[in-house]
Amino acid sequence: MTELKNDVYLRALLRQPTTRTPIWMMRQAGRYLPEYRAVRAEAGDFMSVCQNPELACEVTLQPLRRFALDAAILFSDILTIPDAMGLGLYFETGEGPRFQRPLQDHASIAALPIPDPEQELRYVMDAVRTIRRELKGEVPLIGFSGSPWTLATYMVEGGSTKNFAKVKQMAFAEPQSLHLLLSKLADAVTLYLNAQIAAGAQAVMIFDTWGGVLSPRDYREFSLAYMQRIVDGLTREAEGRRVPVTLFTKNGGQWLADMAATGADALGVDWTTDLASARAAVGERVALQGNMDPSMLYASPQRIRDEVKTILASYGEGHGHVFNLGHGIHPTVDPEHAAAFIDAVHEFSPAYHR
């Protein structure tokens, strides 16, 4: 493999010394970029981009041509695993992802297959290989998956939901069914992420988008326990380097200490938790990623620059911080505001790494 020219992101995740704070953005390849919208329009729909390795590579690289980012993230979707299990993923305009065959009983869960990443999900692995080749070692490539709990919410609810009634009914009335589903998903995610690493991903991230809707007890039982299983089963070294793993639970700031105990290298933090508080909670155990409110990118460039200063000061001096948004960039953000954000991190962060 080509030697990595910029490894500041990987070094920060491992809390090694860096000369500045690295930056990338969740959903950095996406609808806020006109060049992405052009590719998607030509492809016909979102999944047609995901399932074409050359197009997935193109949109992965688009933000790197515009901005001085320190990592690329695979262009894909968290629902590729449920789709490969046979649930029939499709997207309704204005409503987000839906499944033709949501899980309704124990029998349907018991019948779920565990996808082979190099068979049913081969298009993802081919995308990883293509992106690594085209990156030419400029920056590392991040692979990712949804967490078992987050995937289960979509699979049981049949799509997006506001109250999580069906999946919580299963959790509390039929916990054995939900645990069977979560166990299968933990196995599937572990295989999937390890296959991404084998294909060339140099770091991986687990997105627990909906862990924050659970109580502390239920979070530990239905979300964290299964992310722990994945962390325990991941390949942690490839190409002679550590492969860092990041866990991110949206609205999960109260559980950062528990998340740090999993053995993950880094934790994502959203904007509802102050980085100083997060750093105090985890001590020296893990790096932290975050955590500007994505809506701040609607502000003026000067306001964005001021917010970057505030967040850098909140984390304070030292290593182990990856600057990011607290969740994905909104599709209606002006790319010039994203540029102001990224440039500000490059300008102001070196002072914290003396």
Residues placed in the known binding site: 27-31, 77, 154, 209, 327
For the annotated binding site for substrate, the residues are 27-31, 77, 154, 209, 327
Beta strand pairing status for 141-146 and 203-208? Answer: parallel
Residue that the structure tokens 């790096």 belong to: 287
Please classify residue 299 by burial: count the beta carbons closer than 10 Å to its beta carbon, then call 0-12 exposed, 13-18 middle and 19+ buried.
middle
- Determine contact, residues 131/139, Cβ cutoff 8 Å: no
Dihedral angle of Cα 231, 215, 175, 88, to the nearest 10 degrees? -70
229 is an active site residue: no
Q: How far is residue 56's CA from residue 149's CA, in Å, rounded to a whole number?
A: 26
DSSP label at 23? B
Q: Which residues is 91 bridged to in the sheet?
A: 97
154 is catalytic: yes
| Catalytic member of 32, 36, 154, 226 | 154
- Is 216 strand, coil or helix? helix
Tokens of 262: 């999993």
Rounded-to-5 percentages of helix, strand, coil across the chain: 50, 15, 35
Question: Is 77 marked active-site?
Answer: yes
Active-site annotation holder among 40, 66, 122, 242: 40
**Residue 246 β-bridge partners:** 205, 266
Which tokens go with 154? 């979509």
From the candidates 7, 9, 70, 77, give the one annotated as an active-site residue.
Answer: 77
60-71 b/e (C-beta count within 10 Å ≥ 16 → b) = bbbbbeebebbb
The two three-digit tokens of residue 314, written as one number:
């909140």
Q: Which residues pair with 291 in a beta bridge?
A: 324
CA torsion 350-251-73-349 (nearest 10°) is: 0
Candidate list 27, 122, 129, 303, residue with the active-site label:
27
Which whole-number Å values give the CA distances from 344 to 27, 61, 305, 313, 323, in the listed order?
A: 19, 21, 6, 13, 11
Cβ-count burial 322-347 (b if 16+ within 10 Å, e if not): bbbbbbbbeeebebebbebbbbbbbe
Catalytic residue ranges: 27, 31, 40, 77, 154
